A and B are shown apart, each in its own frame.
Chain A
């Protein structure tokens, strides 16, 4: 599988993501500068974490108009796989590929910590190797991850099982205490209608090797790899 990792000015998880996809997963990886108009023939694209354009105006608001994002939208519309992590999630929301908005954390604090997330659906290319109810230990590092959606959108997301992950405690209980940023209904990740685009605040690339303290994030990449194999097959 060939995976493109988009690099914006201010991205800072691009190398971690390239490492996880390239060294850990063994995929062919290509970093793609945001001014590029194409994804270089990639099968899947990952928008990494960071602070594109210094988070000016709103996180992701300016990056959304980078030439590469038009290529990402085209890729998504053709059914290609797109994963947005943290700032990548914020960019996908600003680009209109995912619904809702990501507000300032309710605590107003930048939160850099381990979290647990509970898998809500296995009906997606990113979660198919997981089980509903599985608890993953994956870290977060963000100041604006407080997911908001208008009531009608939230209702639809629930009905269509498009909430991929919710923050929970170690035992899998979805509680207010386990919610690090104030997200509605503890939402940690959402899918688009076609289920080929996932945005999530936690960083799976930071939980992909034992030396990092968790390999739970790798299970999301394993799903992605498996989905690609079957699509290609």
Chain B
């Protein structure tokens, strides 16, 4: 079965995110003054072949640890959709 998996990767809260800061400043320049912190991350969609949703999740979890995210500076969240 093919499972659509979504991975949301974002800078950890204690890590300086110059990209987010720059976007925040640009928004303020545009007149959006109600914006607090801005964080820029990455969003991935993967179609994963697995026996069940839990097996798909485990595979993607492993992928995140090994390659997709850098745990020193990034947090990630997984979602596995029904086939």
**Which residues does A use to contact B, with CB under 8 Å?**
57-58, 61-62, 65, 94, 100-101, 103-108, 146, 148-150, 182
Contacts of A58 in B (CB 8 A): 70
Could you tell me the distance between the alpha carbons of A106 and B19 in the complex, rounded to whole angstroms?
Answer: 8
B30 in the interface (beta carbon within 8 A): no
Is there an interface contact between B19 and A104, defined as CB atoms closer than 8 Å? yes
Contacts of B70 in A (CB 8 A): 58, 61, 94, 101
Could you tell me the distance between the alpha carbons of A94 and B71 in the complex, rounded to whole angstroms?
Answer: 11
**Main SS of the interface on chain A?**
loop
Taking residues whose C-beta sits less than 8 angstroms from the other chain, chain B's interface range is: 10 to 19
Is there an interface contact between B18 and A103, defined as CB atoms closer than 8 Å? yes
**Which residues does B use to contact A, with CB under 8 Å?**
15-16, 18-19, 22, 42, 67-68, 70, 72-73
A145 to chain B, nearest CB (A): 12
A149 nearest CB neighbor, chain B only:
B72
A-B contact pairs, 9 of them (CB 8 A): A62-B67, A103-B16, A103-B73, A104-B19, A105-B18, A106-B18, A107-B18, A148-B72, A148-B73
Contacts of A150 in B (CB 8 A): 72
The verdict on A148 contacting B16 (CB below 8 Å), with A61-B70, A62-B67, A65-B67 known, is yes
Contacts of A104 in B (CB 8 A): 18-19
Is there an interface contact between B72 and A57, defined as CB atoms closer than 8 Å? no
Contacts of B16 in A (CB 8 A): 103, 106, 146, 148, 182
Could you tell me the distance between the alpha carbons of A77 and B63 in the complex, rounded to whole angstroms?
Answer: 25
Could you tell me the distance between the alpha carbons of A149 and B67 in the complex, rounded to whole angstroms?
Answer: 19
Could you tell me the distance between the alpha carbons of A107 and B67 in the complex, rounded to whole angstroms?
Answer: 26
Could you tell me the distance between the alpha carbons of A61 and B65 in the complex, rounded to whole angstroms?
Answer: 12
Is there an interface contact between B72 and A101, defined as CB atoms closer than 8 Å? yes
Could you tell me the distance between the alpha carbons of A105 and B19 in the complex, rounded to whole angstroms?
Answer: 9
The verdict on A182 contacting B18 (CB below 8 Å), with A57-B67, A65-B67 known, is yes
Contacts of A94 in B (CB 8 A): 70
B11 nearest CB neighbor, chain A only:
A103
Is there an interface contact between B73 and A101, defined as CB atoms closer than 8 Å? yes
A92 to chain B, nearest CB (A): 14
Is there an interface contact between A100 and B72, defined as CB atoms closer than 8 Å? yes
A123 to chain B, nearest CB (A): 26
